[in-house]
């Protein structure tokens, strides 16, 4: 019969067992206390708060207890990552995307997932085309070329209509001149985008013109040639008519017109700008031809004042010439040359222009050869013109009574003893004239005389 073993019989062996069991229990307890829980977490930030693709998103890992990470970026670039910090991810297409982070350690794992809504890209654009031309009133056809928007808001500065919220607005009418803004603001549900273009409205058609006589015909006497100086605003084409006279080109912008005879005439301009036609008319009175030009208070200096006041005068050009002036083309028009010796006016003489070089002046290019009667009382060449006769001349025909064929005595110089003095002359082309010396102004080297002139326009 087998003998039964008891705990009391092997006290040492039993103690070891008990100690081992205790160690196992302690180890098991310690292991349970050091288990680390993994919890996935992250935050994200939309760069520049721009939800419109392309969108860049910065992710920051906030997980705890994890040793390993697995990111999944649906629709993103990159599409995945096993880095703890994935940095910035770009999304190029609009839509709803899931971003998932799986985090784990040796004991457990967890997952965090978020959904991100990204908006479509928007390109705000439109065409604004002026119909016909930009003269007021202006119609503008607007064509929406926007891509990716869901809402539209139009503003037409100064236009009719002034605004619209439909995708394709109607034609807009502008009346006021100047620049006008057309602004389109579009949205994709979260962000808005704006595009502005300017259109210009030119003034409405306003025909106008001036009748500007030629330089030679500023006295408004027949025959008269003038320019029809067009001042029309916003015109494109023109048609001219007249009740008298001859227009050189009836469709030119600013043609010339010629009147042979005295009278009152009407000139009409019809202007068109592609949208409308308007007319305007002007009247002109052409005076009878007196064949006389009159100049008053002309100053001519003594020889020492030739460089400052001037000693030459042209009745054709209505201009005084001084030393140093370019006479290469104007010399042939000078018909009056005065030589005064000094401020005492003891020696004065009007010269034929072609003899200027003999009296301290430079030679006049292409100078004309005139007849001059400086001293009528010694001329013995016909009727003497008095100051009263000079004032009474109102028509060039009055010179028919005066023969200008000076004797040697008539060519002589004169002093300032007699005031006024009348000097007669005749140009190389046969025009007769008279000079009335009204004043001798002593002023040292800048002394001068003051004269009036009457001369025929044509022989």
List, for residues 62-80, the tens digit of each pLDDT value.
Answer: 999 999 999 999 999 999 9
- Report residue 215: phi and psi, to 5°: -55, -40
Q: What is the DSSP letter of 175?
A: -
Q: What is the DSSP letter of 385?
A: P
For residue 434, give the nearest of 453, 448, 408 by alpha carbon: 453
Place of tokens 């997980």: 63
So what's the pLDDT on residue 23? 58
> Is-contact 61 84, C-beta < 8 A?
yes
So what's the pLDDT on residue 26? 52
> Is-contact 67 108, C-beta < 8 A?
no
So what's the pLDDT on residue 17? 56
Residue 456 has pLDDT above 60, yes or no: yes
> Is-contact 372 406, C-beta < 8 A?
yes
Note the maximum CA span of the chain. 200
How far is Cα of residue 403 from the mean position of the Cα atoms in its chain? Answer: 61
So what's the pLDDT on residue 5? 46
Round to whole Å and give the CA distance between 216 and 228.
16
- The region, left, alpha or beta by phi > 0 then psi within -120 to 50, assigned to residue 65 is left
So what's the pLDDT on residue 426? 96
**Average pLDDT of the segment spanning 15-32:** 54
Round to whole Å and give the CA distance between 448 and 298.
10
Round to whole Å and give the CA distance between 139 and 206.
19
**Average pLDDT of the segment spanning 328-337:** 98
So what's the pLDDT on residue 7? 44
Domain boundaries, the chain: 42-118, 126-201, 209-286, 293-455
**Average pLDDT of the segment spanning 143-160:** 96
Read off the pLDDT band of 362 (50, 70, 90): very high
pTM for the whole structure: 0.71
Q: Are strands 237-242 and 263-272 parallel, antiparallel or unpaired?
A: antiparallel
For residue 159, give the nearest of 129, 194, 193, 201 by alpha carbon: 201
User: Is residue 177 classed as helix, strand or coil in its secondary structure?
Assistant: coil
For residue 229, give the nearest of 207, 254, 205 by alpha carbon: 254
- Of 46-55, 149-158, 354-363, the range with the lowest mean pLDDT is 46-55
Which residues in 32-49 are b (16+ Cβ under 10 Å) and which e? eeeeeebebebeeeeeee
Q: Which CATH superfamily is domain 209-286 in?
A: Immunoglobulins (2.60.40.10)
The alpha helices in 293-445, defined as continuous H runs, are 387-392
Burial of 187 (0-12, 13-18, 19+ CB in 10 A): middle
Q: Are strands 348-351 and 293-301 parallel, antiparallel or unpaired?
A: unpaired
Residue 381 has pLDDT above 90, yes or no: no
So what's the pLDDT on residue 189? 84
> Is-contact 140 159, C-beta < 8 A?
yes
CATH class held by domain 126-201: mainly beta
Residue 119 has pLDDT above 90, yes or no: no
Round to whole Å and give the CA distance between 273 and 236.
5
Which residues in 411-435 are b (16+ Cβ under 10 Å) and which e? beebebeeeebbbbbbbeeebbbbb
CATH 1.50.10.10 fits 42-118, yes or no: no
């Amino acid at each position: 019969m087998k003998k039964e073993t008891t705990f009391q019989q092997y006290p040492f062996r039993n103690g070891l067992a008990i100690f081992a069991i205790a160690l196992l229990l302690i180890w098991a307890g310690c292991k349970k206390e050091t288990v680390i829980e993994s919890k996935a977490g992250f935050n994200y930030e939309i760069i520049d708060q721009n939800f419109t693709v392309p969108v860049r998103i910065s992710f920051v890992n906030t997980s705890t207890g994890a040793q390993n990470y697995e990111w999944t970026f649906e629709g993103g670039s990159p599409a995945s990552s096993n880095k703890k910090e994935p940095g910035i991810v770009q999304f190029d297409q609009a839509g709803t995307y899931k971003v998932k982070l799986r985090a784990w350690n040796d004991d457990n794992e967890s997952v965090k997932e978020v959904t991100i809504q990204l908006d479509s890209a928007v390109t705000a654009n439109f065409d604004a085309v002026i119909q016909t031309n930009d003269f007021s009133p202006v119609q503008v056809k607007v064509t929406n070329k926007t891509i990716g928007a869901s809402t539209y808001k139009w503003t037409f500065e100064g236009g009719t209509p002034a605004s619209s919220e439909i995708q394709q607005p109607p034609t807009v009418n502008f009346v006021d001149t100047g620049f006008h803004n057309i602004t389109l603001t579009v949205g994709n549900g979260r962000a808005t985008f704006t595009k502005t273009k300017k259109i210009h409205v030119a003034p409405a058609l306003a025909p106008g013109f001036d009748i500007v006589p030629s330089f030679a015909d500023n006295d408004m006497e027949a025959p008269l040639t003038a320019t029809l100086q067009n001042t029309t605003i916003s015109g494109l084409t023109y048609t001219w008519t007249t009740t008298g006279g001859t227009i050189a080109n009836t469709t030119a912008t600013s043609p010339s017109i010629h009147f042979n005879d005295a009278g009152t005439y009407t000139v009409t301009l019809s202007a068109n700008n592609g949208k409308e036609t308007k007319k305007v008319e002007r009247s002109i009175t052409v005076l009878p031809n007196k064949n006389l030009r009159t100049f008053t208070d002309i100053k001519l200096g003594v020889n020492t004042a030739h460089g400052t006041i001037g000693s030459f005068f042209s009745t054709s050009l209505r201009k005084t010439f001084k030393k140093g002036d370019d006479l290469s083309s104007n010399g042939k028009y000078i018909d009056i040359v005065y030589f005064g010796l000094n401020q005492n006016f003891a020696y004065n003489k009007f010269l034929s222009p072609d003899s200027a070089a003999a009296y301290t002046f430079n030679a006049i290019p292409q100078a004309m050869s005139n007849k001059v009667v400086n001293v009528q009382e010694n001329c013995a060449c016909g009727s003497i013109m008095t100051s009263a006769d000079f004032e009474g001349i109102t028509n060039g025909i009055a010179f028919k009574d005066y023969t200008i064929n000076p004797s040697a005595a008539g060519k002589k110089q004169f002093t300032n003893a007699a005031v006024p003095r009348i000097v007669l002359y005749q140009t190389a082309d046969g025009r007769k004239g008279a000079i009335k010396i009204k004043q001798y102004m002593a002023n040292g080297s800048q002394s001068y005389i003051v004269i009036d002139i009457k001369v025929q326009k044509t022989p």
